[in-house]
Structure formats: structure tokens, C-alpha cells
Structure 1
Amino acid sequence: MGSAFRKDKKIEQTIVLTPPTLYTSGEVVFPRKPAKQTLSGAYIQDKNAPLYVRKMYTWAWENAEHHHTKRFPLPKAGTLVVRRGQPFKITLTFNRPYNSLTDELKFYFETGENPLPGNDTMVCLSSYTSQGSSGWKSDFLPVIGTKDKDCIQAHLWVFTPPDCIVSDWRFALQSILRTEVETATVSYEHPDRIYILFNPWCKNDAVYLPAEPLLDEYILNASGLLFTGCRKRMMYKPWIFGQFESGILEACLYVIKRGFNFRTSQRMGDPAAVVRVIASIVSADNNNGILKGTWSTNEFTDGRSPTTWSGSVAILKQYLDNVISANGDDPEPVRYGHCFVYAGLVTTICRAVGIPCRCVTNYNSGRGTDGRLAIDFYYEVKADGSIGELETDEQELVWSFHVWNDVWMKRIDVAKPCNEPDWQAIDATPSVTNGNVPQVSGPAPLHAVKNYLPEVKHDVDQLFAEVNSEVLHWLKVDVGEWTVFQCEPSRIGQSISSKTPDGRPPALTYKYNLAEMSRVRQDVTADYKYKKGTKMESEITKKPEHKQRPTHRCKAKDVEFKMASKEFEYIGDDFMVKANITNHGRDARTCHVILLCESMHYTGRRHEIIKKVEWNKTLEPEQSEPLQLGIYESDYIGKLAEHACLRQVAYMRVTETDQINACVDDFLLEKPHLEMSVDETIYKNSNFALKLQFKNPLHRPLTNCSVSVEGVGLESMMFVRKFQNVPAECEWTGIVNLLPVRSNLLDISVTFHCQEMLDIIGFITVRVEKEKEGAIQAEVPATGKNGEQDLNDNVKELQDSMILAS
């Protein structure tokens, strides 16, 4: 081959493939790192020079079209975001034609800090063979006859396995020239990560969901509804998941890595392991997670009230701020969250990485049972003969509602019949077990929950108890002696709800009506339990062992005691708590009755007693006596907890027979709704006015008023504006000026806060047109505490400092 090599001249040379340029991620501009190539070996001249890359084209947008990832901003910048189990294409332009006799190309894909082939974190593919390691495959196709004689192109098709590790991967290429004289190599490192996600469109992926229209909701929908309120008056809270916002995919992969303690392994390809880690890292009680929860308080001086959150993007942004501020130490969590905030975050992370996910609300949820099938309340007879409830330190409560998540996947780690594709319940809200260790629940196959198969992992018994427990009322009859005087077998686990999977944002009027509720709400109770009274329901509820409990004995139960059920009241109105007692016996009965109304946290714990009254009534045979307790606006304003939940309670004890009854009924104070409108055409990078309206129903002014706005595609993801006090009984109108930074549909969630009745919510979807021709664009700040730029800067800083991989 003549003087192809000079053995006496060894070199190692670095070639910069492209000069530093700028690329955009969505609307944000980042400096782009140049690709580098390193030559080693002997110096080769002319046509025998080593093969090196002059240009690499990722076909990012075209690949994204086929991989359902084009809504992420990264493909617009040329960064590959693809789904596993599906091929993607790369085109390489070389300095000279590829010669299969002397040239070998090796393609390396690596993830994690210490990539190794044994744990599937390093994969090597070759131009000589289509079969790679760890189930990866490639197809290297040189393009013959290009117009440019000095270079040649080749297409590289990469086939990732359907169980590939979901992470950001590094790509490198090694060109090896072998001649009779010596060997020379060129190493190329691609500057951008390649993001490989779960693939619910791939039949061989464990998260495959065959009903493709459902993926429009459970993967692609960036906004939705979380159901709140109480069973008899279900309400909804709009939530902006924002999984396609700039920097959110990177942030989601970072928190998953943190959940795995930055130890990349095959488990990051197992969706069951990934969602369990997601549920864990969302809670600040585990692995220095994202969100700190708080319950049974209205004091949030060192954070935000959970009810003021209306989306996940601002929470993830604040958490990344805290990670960077910690400078390698444990970051401070975001304060504060309730169950629906945890569920919203889980949905964002799951949908971002490709796991179908929905939010689920269970009304009258049995929490803190540790798998037992009973929620216990305790009472005692006082010296005056009245009965009263005892305050205990137990964690067992009946929550008005509780929100968790369902994720869709096939479980390969469980036996039949639970290894078929199914919804799996995961609960990121930490519960306290007997060991006083907060823990999350799931993933648990709904088939196992519905049929009570506690041997199936994970935490089936806890989730079964949450929808099937019975409520027991205990009475202290003597020192150390208790009896059960009342049992409610059907109170727990009702009207289990999720958003209708229509793939659309929640376009709502917020004026409560059954037609709208039936349109946006899907009843999924049948996924969790059999219908009450059926043979299967009876058989399943008998499967767990029930302890024998002492039953309270009384001489007669001849007094009928009823409390009038209440669905809701409008905030600002006066109302009555009503009960009725009737003596059906032959003898007179002396009845001690207590009626009370109390404000409550949605967790079922009492916040404050609003009003209480007691009577001693003597009833003759067949005599009936109505009882009423008047509750006025002045009684409850200033005493409400979050969600404005109230509880009416009635106790009765008959002196002669020791008959005891307790009636408990939760209801909602319905607040006004925030009407939102836009009176102009909206253009990208041009300010517009969002009009807010509602009527103050109270006979007093609203104080400490502010509005928080959260939306995708805005200059700032979340910000707060303060307003003056709102006078009593007036129509209030407020204007918020917003700046959209992209065209397309814009989802905006607004919450009005005040001291008297907490949050008033509204949601609107508007269309943003492209910039006006010749219009002067509004200046978008380069940085800001609440802006998308700041979030992306944080993600880049995490990557550049190698926190993502250390």
C-alpha cells in the first residue's frame, strides 16, 4: 500500500466538528457544545486517511413524528427523543467513501456514570454486523454515488429493544482503519444526549396500550382534572401537567435517577420499578424527594398552601432551584402538598417518560389502616349521661376524598392472572404504618385489588382496605372495656372517579350541573370493587379474616333517630342542621341528643367546632320530636379549612335502654367560580388581557386577596398578583396581563385567594396566533424566577455539573 503509514510518527489530534452555535429548545436559546473527534494512531494521508465524521444529521423532527415525541421542544433543536422498541434513523457524512474491507465503524450508546455492558448501560453496535449487545440492533447503509466526491453519506438505523433502559444516552462513534501496515482510529462524541422513553405504541413494550385513542389522554394530554369535594357534591380542580414544556422531560429523568440513587441499571427499563420509584421520589419523606406534605393545618407561612397549586411545572422548577442551591447537599423540598398535588406530579412524570397514567379519586377513602379492614372511632359516656367522641392519636381516618394514580402496564414480576396488561394503582401520598415509617403504595394490579389477592405485590392489602374497609363506632363501657355500638359496612370507597379519556383539555363552565359532570367524569368504581349486593362482592369481602368484636348490648332499640342528609350549601348562606327522634316503644324514653357542626380537613380530621347544642328530651310512646341547629355565615366564616368541607354530627343516648346512635354526614360549602374571558385576538409575544370575574357572596369584604396564574406557553409558568380587598356582596372584576411565548392552544389555570374562603378557581383554553406582521415583539426576559428560561438553565446546569450522573 506504499507509504500509507509512517510508523515513526504517532499522533493524537482533536478535531472540532462544528464551531459553537446556538440552538433553541422551544423558545429558549442555549449555547451548543461542539462535537469532538480524536484521532489516534499513525498519520494517514489522502484517500487512505482515517474515516471521520464531517456532519451528523439526527432527523430529530422526522424521528419524533414516528415516535410520537414531536410535542417535546427538544426535537425542534435537533435532539433525538425516541421511544424504545422502535427504530430511529441517523445520517452520517464522512470525509471519504466508506470501504468495508478496511473500515470498521463502532457505535457506542452509554448511560449512567459508569457504563458497563453487563448491566445494559453500555451498548456497542458495528458496521460489520446488525446484531449488537443487550438486544440492540443496527443497519448501516452507505449511500453510493453522492454528488460530492470528497465525502459520502451513510444511514444508520438503530433498533432499540422494547425493554431498553429509559434514560438520556450518550452517543459515540469509533472509526477504525486497518491496513497491512498499522491501525488508526478516530473517536467521535455527539454533543447532545439521546432521550429514549417508554413506548406504549409498541406491542412488545410492557406499557403497550392497544387502544390508541386512549393514549391521546393518558400520554399526550398536557392538562386534566382532579376530582375533589365530597361524594355527594363532587367537584373538580383543573391541573396543568405540562409534560411537554421546555426542560420538563430532563427534569423528570433527573428525579427518576435521584430516586434510583443515581445508580443506572436494568431496573430503569422495568416500568413497575420505575413507577414505584416515581411514587417514592415525589414524596419528601423518601430520598430527599420533591414535595413536602402537610395535613390538618391552615398555616403555610414557610411555603404555599396546597390548594393554590394548579400545575406541576412550577413545582418541578422550584425543586430544581432547590437542588442547585443545595450545591450537592440534600435539597429542600417544595412546601406544601396534598394528595392531589402528589397525584398531579406523578402524572406529569409518568406521561413525560411514556407510561400511560391517570389520576383517580376515591371518595370516603379509608386511610391509615395498615391493611386492616376497619376504621375505628371511639366514644365515651360522660358524667351527665351524654356521649362524646374521644380524640386519639391514631392515623385512621375517613378522608372525604383521596387522589392517587393508575398506570398501565404488563407485570412480568407477578403470576397469572395478574401478569396481563392492566391498570396498576400507585399512591404517592405517604401513609404511616405501624413502624411509623412513611411509605407509598403500589404498583398493585387492579385485578388483585378487586379480587383481594394480597400475595401479589405491591401493597394490595392496603389498597383493598382503602376502598373496602368498614367503619366501627366503639363505646367505652368500663375501664379497659369497649364495645361496638354501630357499624357502617358500606361507607368506604364510593364513586371512584377519573377524567373522561377524551384527549381534550377540560373546557368547563364551572357552574355545577349533572350533565357537565357526566361528560368530564368517568366512574371507575367497577375497576376496583364489585357492585354492592352482588354474589362476587359478598365472596370477596369475606376473604379477609375479620376479628370478632364485642357488640354493645342494650335493652331495646325502640327509638328511631335520623339526621337529615345534606349535599351542599352555598358559602355565605345560612342553613340548618336537622335531626328527628321518634319513640316507637310502649314506654316513655329519655333521650340525650347532641347536634354539632364542625369544619374539617379533607383528611377527615376536625379543624374547628362551629356550633354545638345539647338537649334532654322525654318522648311519650309514638311521639316524634324535630331538632334543629341554626348555622349562620358569621358562625363559620374564618373557621373553614381547605376545600370548605363541613361535617354535621348527631349523637343520641337513651337513658332507660342504653341505646346509642351516631350520625355523621359530610357536605361541602360551594364557593363561587371564577369566570374568565378574553376580548381580543391573542398573538405570540404580544401581551393580552385576561379578564376575571366572580361575585362575592359574603356579607363582609374579602381580605388579603391575590391571584395566582399558571399556564403552559406563558412567559412565566406561575406568578402571583395582589389585589385590593373585595367589598361585600359585589361583582368583582380583575385584569391580568399575560405574555404568550408560543403559538397554539394555551391552557391557563387561575386561582383567586383570600382569607375568608380560600381558593376560587377558573380554567380557560385560548388560541394563540403567530406574531403580527410588522409588530414590535414584547421583550421576553432572559431569566426570571418563574420563567421557562430559568427552568432550562437549571436543567443545563445540572447536566454540565454532572449532577445528573453522579
Structure 2
Amino acid sequence: MAAPRVLKVRTIDLQRVQNQTRHRTEGLSSSTLVLRRGQAFTMTVNYDGRPFDPLKEQLIFRIVSGPLFVEAPVSVSRQPSLTQWTAVLEKCILNPTGHRALSVSLSSPASAPIGAYTLQLRGQTRLSVTTYFLGQVTLLCNPWCPADSVFLQSEDLRTEYVMSDIGLLFKGSPGNIVSRPWSFDQYEKGILDICMKLLQESPQHQADMGKDLLNRSSPVYISRVISAMVNSNDDKGVLMGKWSGDYKDGVNPSQWTGSADILRMWAETQFSPVKYGQCWVFAAVMCTVMRALGIPTRVVTNFNSAHDTDGNMVIEEYYNEKGEKLSMSRDSIWNFHVWVESWMKRPDLGRGYDGWQVLDPTPQERSAGMFRCGPAAVKAIYEQRVDAQYDVPFVYAEVNADVCTMIIRNGMVLSTSIDKRRVGALISTKRPGSMSMQNITSEYKTEDDGDTCRGSLADVAGRSVICHSQRQSAIFMDSKGVEVSLQLLKAPVVGENISFNVIITNTEAAQKLLKKHVNAQNKEYNRNPTGSFWESHDDVKIGPKETVTMKHEIFFKEYMLKETEEDSLVNLAVVIEDVKTQERVLASEEFNIRTPSLNIQIQNEVSVIINTPQVATVIFTNPFSFAVRGELTVSGSGLLEEKAQMRITIQPRETTKKPVSFTPRMAGAKMLSANLVLENPPTILHGFKTINVQAS
């Protein structure tokens, strides 16, 4: 009697469209089938010969990742498992042509390591074995699966934090917030495969491939690897940071509008660092990678973010008696700092710390030897659990450090004040389903975190406080003679003058002679300012219990920028000196000068339909008293195949209207964004329009 022959496989259909729709990965561009873990997918095995008989032969799937593999025998009765790979025979089919087919359902565990897998099928009888190569799949985390450690309950939040490819980044200062459009681009061609490359090129993978692949079951591990790989400081990471000076050998960080250009440039240059990034660019690229990998992620801005280099939870600031801020401390307050939060379980921290975790790819300090930060549980930051992994003390200081301000002369401290309110003044993110801001400060800190003396610098100047500094500790007695504050009269805009008041109050019943020093310095968002560009010095006589208001104006030509920026920042300070007692009080204000914005209008806004040509018009009125020239770029993921670019010149006070044609190729909420880089004044203008594309 002839031995039973193994069935002869002719073709395999991995049912890409149906599987990717069911796994919510349609639109993600990859050379492989893209699936989510913890969920079954089906395939059809077409073969020749007699019907499949599970008693006489075995079919075994082998799922291979690097040096690791698992096997899953095809069963006719088993239920899919959430803890191991299983293969179940759904049905046997006889085609009209006489060819036979098997429909098989393969399930991955909800804790399977994410990454690329090769699928093989082995048919074996007692006497023979035949192996077939079926293709490759990419496995992602699954926030729809309750057993996955990134499971997120709400469909609206999954739509926003995993599926959405448009975002708003918040910059500027708490009193003058600038919203900046960003395209996360996770659906752009080839981007998912590049995101996977970050895992492949990581030092962890290079050092021990097998260990790295096993560890990729944990989003805590994945997020630490990605946090380090988004910056190029220790590895073949994506972005090189640069915070000042000349960007000519790269791209000015303010000119990026989306993640795809950056990730493609990194991949196309054999993983050379892309020049240049700043905090919002690092965070936005990390958000793209995490969303592509299936980990719910949002971009967060902390206004007045402390960078505490010595870990004493105090930021020291020094001014001279003329009101000029001095660069004497390594500590600094970033006007804003942008990081991401990702949603995951934290079994390593015990109960209560699941949920949002801070991750910061901007290279500031090392964490276990590499420039990365997090995941730090937001709940642990709120509860001041500074013993919890990872990097909770650093993030806690970013939102809660005290600010100790000293006026000094010849190394001697003349007066001091403590401010417990300034740091972490506002923590914000984009509101789900809308292009507006959501205030999440209360998730990080209670109203009275470390609160012992509140108020502005002017109120606390000269109180009895102890300021811990590496240089000196000093105690100063009460001085209630004079109070001073600064008041901006309107939100500053590029091209207009900056108008502000200095308000001085004599709190005593005797006339005073005062010296007033006002000083304005340009600054970058992440460090102390450099030299002054404007100052004013006066003598002031003030009567008993009198309040005087003195108006000042800084002209546009005095603050005009040398380097191209989208928002210039100014540190404004006033020092009031009592001539008789030589006591001094200080008030300071840091603010950004906004650029005018571009307006985008859509011809038929209510009926934007997939695959139907449309026209958008970019509108800009030149607010300057001189002609401006520059380059306008319009982009939109899922709307424009290529960016539209054009040179434009606009006469003083003239309005220009530039039409741009586009054809939407994806349904859902999409965004057109416009960038205008002006040469003179050297500044970058932004505008955006969200478009709801309807299916045909």
C-alpha cells in the first residue's frame, strides 16, 4: 500500500485587506501584512491532492523572529488562546476547479513581542516532511484587546491617540500660547517599516538580538528603547539637537511640519542623524513611532519647565542690579518643554500606576547611561513617589521646582525671593476630537504642591526665606517698602511695538527716592538669555502710599531677529532700588512675540470627498511697512501626494491669495498645513485647516 502523501500547497492567500481591516491597520504602509497581537487572522491554503485528514498528517505553523521561533499545530477543535500562538482549522473548501483549500485561523498571544515575523507551514506524515514559506507579518500592540498591556477603554481615545495622524503642539509662554500644527504621518508610504527600524538599529538589539526580541512584549521596554533612539546622542538615533546659532548645514527645527520627512531622511542616509531637532520635534517624532507601533500616545507641553541639573529641586536665577539676567547657573527654566505620554500598564510599579506615562526623547540627562527619560508614571509624579522607576524625580522637578531669584553685585547677594508658582504653570495637550487645548496640570500636581509662600516675584521679594544654592545660602529679613510689577498692554506680535507698564507702589507713609532699571534680553526657550537689546534707567520720586504707572515702548527695529525663528522670546525685568535704604525689589516677565498666522480656506468645505479634486487657498496679509519675500510650502498627509512649494513676494499691507489643488486619498479628519519662511524679517509663519474627508 502506498504511503500517504503530504498535501501539496499551491498558493497561500494571507487575505491582507480583510485582515488589516479587522485589525484596524488599514492605511499603514508596509511591505508585510500588518496585524495586532492578541487577535486572530485568517488565511486560505490552496493545495492539490486528496482531502486533508488530520488523523494521517499534521500541519504545523512556525512563527519565526530572528533566532527565536514558536510552533502552532493546526487543530480542528482548539479555541484561540490569549497566552500562546494557536492555529485552528476553520473549514475545508473544494473549489469548482477541483482544487482544494483550507481556511485556517492563526492567533497571537496578547503579550507577543512586537516586530517582524516570518510565517512557515510544515506538512508532515509518518514518512515525509515538506516546508512552505508563507510570507511576512508585522505585529503591533493592540489597544483594542483587553488582555494587551496597552489596552485603552474608550474608542474615542483610541481614535485620537492611535489612529489620528494630525496634531497640535503648544509653544510660547503661558500668557501667549502658540498652537503649532504637526502631521504625524504614520500612514505615509514606508513609515511603519522605518519605525520598526528604530527597534532593529537600537544598541539593545545589536548587543543581544534574542533578549531584545523577547523584551519587546513589554511597552515599558519598547518605550525606553524608542525614547533613546529618537535622539542621536548614544546610538544611530534619528535626530541631532541644536538650540542656537546657525542651522545652514541642516534644517532649522522651526521649519519641520511633520515626521515623515525626518524619518525618511534618517532611513535614506543609512541611519545618520537628521539635523536638527528641538524638544517639540523630538516629541512629535516619538509620538509618530509610538502610534505606529500601536501604543496610545499624546504630545504634552509643560510651560515654565525646570531643568534641575543638581537635583536640589531649586532653580537658581541671578540678576545684576540693573535688571540684566546673568548666566551663572547650570539650572534653567525652559519657557516651554514638550514631551509625550504613552498609555500602558506598569506591573513593575505595583497597583495604581497604570495609565499615562511620561516619555521624553529630548536629550537632557542620562537615564541608566543613555539620553532618554521615562516611562515615569504621571500618577507617581502626582504622588511625589520619587523612588518609582523611571526618572520620576527629574520629571517631578520639571513641574514642581521652586525658583530662587537673587540680585547680586560683585558676588554679594543684595536681595532674594522665592517663587513656588512659576514652574509647571500650565501643562497641556490637544483635546481629543478637536483642535483646541486641554489643560492637564491637575493630573501632575495638586493646587498647593510644596506651597508655603505664593505669589509673583514682586510679592515675595525680600521676605524671610532661605535659598539653598550650591554657591551660598543666605537669609534676608522682611522689606515691605516698595512693590513693583510689570504689565504687558497687549500680546506682542512680530512687526508691532512691545508696550508695557511698570507699576510701582510705595507701601510706607514717607516719600521715597527710587532708581528704576528696566532691561530686555532675547532668549532661546531652553536657556538663560544673552546680552540686552534694550534698557531704560530713571530716577523716580514717589509720594507716601502712592502708586505710579510708567509706560514703556520697545520698537520693532530694536528687537528684530537675526536668526530665523517662529516665535522670539524676551526676558523683561525691572529692578527698583530705594536710594536711602539700598533695598531692591525685582519683577520679571518672559513672553514670546508671535508671528502673524496664515489663513487657509477650502472651496467646498462641507463636501470634501475621497478621490475628488479640491482647491484650497492660502491667504496672507503683509502687516509690515515694507515688502516681504519668502517660500510658501503647503502639505497634508492623505491630501497631497507632494508638497506644494512656491516663491512669493508681497508688497506692504498687500493681501496675497495662493490656490493649491489637492485630491484626498484617505477618509476621516485630515489637515492641510501651510508654512511661509520669510527672509526679511527672518521669521516663519504657520497656518492650518482641518478637513473632514467623507467616503465616496
| Backbone CA RMSD of aligned residues | 3.2
Select which of 91, 94, 119 maps to 2:47: 94
Counterparts of 2:639 and 2:64 in 1: how far apart (Å)?
Answer: 35
Counterparts of 1:478 and 1:304 in 2: how far apart (Å)?
Answer: 42
1:125 and 2:72 correspond: yes
Select which of 291, 298, 301 maps to 1:358: 298
How far does the alpha carbon of each residue in 1:625-671 deviate from its partner, in whole angstroms, 9 at most, with x for none? 44343211222223575413333211223243232222111223233
Select which of 309, 332, 335 maps to 2:256: 309
Counterparts of 2:689 and 2:38 in 1: how far apart (Å)?
Answer: 37
Conserved 8 A contact 1:163-1:205: yes
Aligned to 1:67: 23
1:575 and 2:498 correspond: yes
Q: 1:302 offset after TM fit, Å?
A: 1.0
The normalised TM-score by structure 2 is 0.88
Aligned to 1:45: none
The SS at the match of 2:25 is: coil
1:269 and 2:217 correspond: yes
Q: 1:276 offset after TM fit, Å?
A: 1.2
The SS at the match of 1:209 is: coil
1:285 and 2:233 correspond: yes
Conserved 8 A contact 1:371-1:463: no
User: Which amino acid letter does the alignment assign opposite residue 494 of structure 1?
Assistant: A
Q: 1:611 offset after TM fit, Å?
A: 1.2
Aligned to 2:593: 669
How far does the alpha carbon of each residue in 1:206-257 deviate from its partner, in whole angstroms, 9 at most, with x for none? 1011122211101111111111121012221111112122211111111122
How far does the alpha carbon of each residue in 1:316-360 deviate from its partner, in whole angstroms, 9 at most, with x for none? 11111111xxxxxxx321111111111111111111111000111
The SS at the match of 1:170 is: strand
Counterparts of 2:505 and 2:539 in 1: how far apart (Å)?
Answer: 14
Q: 1:80 offset after TM fit, Å?
A: 2.6
How far does the alpha carbon of each residue in 1:694-750 deviate from its partner, in whole angstroms, 9 at most, with x for none? 1111122223x0112322135645464322x32222212234455666677653211
Change (3 A) 1:132 1:536: farther
Alignment of 1:527-606 (within 5 A): 527-532=443-448, 547=468, 550-553=473-476, 556-565=479-488, 568-585=491-508, 589-606=512-529
User: Which amino acid letter does the alignment assign opposite residue 358 of structure 2?
Assistant: A
Change (3 A) 1:134 1:287: farther
The SS at the match of 1:127 is: strand
Aligned length: 672
Change (3 A) 1:127 1:739: closer
Aligned to 1:156: 104
Change (3 A) 1:51 1:426: same
Alignment of 1:390-539 (within 5 A): 390-392=326-328, 394-418=329-353, 421-432=354-365, 439-476=371-408, 482=413, 485-502=416-433, 506=435, 520-532=436-448
Change (3 A) 1:417 1:764: closer
Give the stretch that moved more between structures: 553-562 or 443-452: 553-562
User: Which amino acid letter does the alignment assign opposite residue 222 of structure 1?
Assistant: D
The SS at the match of 2:539 is: strand
Aligned to 2:458: none
Change (3 A) 1:745 1:231: closer
Q: 1:536 offset after TM fit, Å?
A: 12
Q: 1:751 offset after TM fit, Å?
A: 0.6
Counterparts of 1:363 and 1:696 in 2: how far apart (Å)?
Answer: 30
Larger Rg: 1
Aligned to 2:462: none
Aligned to 2:284: 344
How far does the alpha carbon of each residue in 1:682-704 deviate from its partner, in whole angstroms, 9 at most, with x for none? 7878876542111111122223x
Aligned to 1:713: 638
Aligned to 1:85: 38
Aligned to 2:88: 140
Alignment of 1:46-65 (within 5 A): 48-65=4-21
Aligned to 1:801: none
Counterparts of 2:259 and 2:530 in 1: how far apart (Å)?
Answer: 28
The normalised TM-score by structure 1 is 0.77
Conserved 8 A contact 2:314-2:468: no
Q: 1:567 offset after TM fit, Å?
A: 5.7
Select which of 131, 140, 147 maps to 1:197: 140
The SS at the match of 1:563 is: strand
Q: 1:483 offset after TM fit, Å?
A: 7.0
Counterparts of 2:34 and 2:663 in 1: how far apart (Å)?
Answer: 28
User: Which amino acid letter does the alignment assign opposite residue 528 of structure 2?
Assistant: R
Aligned to 1:326: none
Select which of 389, 406, 413 maps to 2:325: 389
Aligned to 2:63: 109
Counterparts of 1:629 and 1:433 in 2: how far apart (Å)?
Answer: 44
The SS at the match of 2:585 is: strand
Select which of 684, 696, 707 maps to 2:622: 696
Q: 1:676 offset after TM fit, Å?
A: 1.4
Select which of 651, 656, 670 maps to 1:727: 651
How far does the alpha carbon of each residue in 1:738-767 deviate from its partner, in whole angstroms, 9 at most, with x for none? 566667765321111113151111112447
How far does the alpha carbon of each residue in 1:178-233 deviate from its partner, in whole angstroms, 9 at most, with x for none? 2xxxx22211112x321111011111111011122211101111111111121012
Change (3 A) 1:610 1:702: farther
Conserved 8 A contact 1:675-1:762: yes
Aligned to 1:184: 128
1:616 and 2:539 correspond: yes
Aligned to 1:657: 581
The SS at the match of 1:216 is: helix
Conserved 8 A contact 1:368-1:431: no
The SS at the match of 1:126 is: strand
Aligned to 1:206: 149
1:645 and 2:589 correspond: no
Conserved 8 A contact 1:232-1:567: no
The SS at the match of 2:558 is: helix
Counterparts of 2:168 and 2:72 in 1: how far apart (Å)?
Answer: 45
Q: 1:587 offset after TM fit, Å?
A: 5.1
Counterparts of 1:642 and 1:652 in 2: how far apart (Å)?
Answer: 33
Aligned to 1:29: none
User: Which amino acid letter does the alignment assign opposite residue 702 of structure 1?
Assistant: V
Change (3 A) 1:556 1:202: closer
User: Which amino acid letter does the alignment assign opposite residue 382 of structure 2?
Assistant: K
Conserved 8 A contact 2:340-2:359: yes
The SS at the match of 2:185 is: coil
Counterparts of 1:252 and 1:142 in 2: how far apart (Å)?
Answer: 34
The SS at the match of 1:279 is: helix
Change (3 A) 1:63 1:497: same
Give the stretch that moved more between structures: 461-470 or 310-319: 310-319
Q: 1:574 offset after TM fit, Å?
A: 2.4
Conserved 8 A contact 1:361-1:401: yes
Change (3 A) 1:683 1:415: closer
Q: Structure 2 stretches of 5 or more lacking a match?
A: 455-465
Aligned to 2:121: 173
1:253 and 2:196 correspond: yes
Aligned to 1:764: 689
Q: 1:530 offset after TM fit, Å?
A: 0.7
Conserved 8 A contact 1:369-1:462: no
Change (3 A) 1:743 1:488: closer
Aligned to 1:367: 307
Q: 1:294 offset after TM fit, Å?
A: 1.1
Aligned to 1:318: 265
Q: Structure 1 stretches of 5 or more lacking a match?
A: 5-47, 117-121, 324-330, 507-519, 539-544, 772-806
Aligned to 1:17: none
Conserved 8 A contact 1:125-1:131: no
Change (3 A) 1:145 1:430: closer
Counterparts of 1:301 and 1:455 in 2: how far apart (Å)?
Answer: 43
The SS at the match of 2:149 is: coil
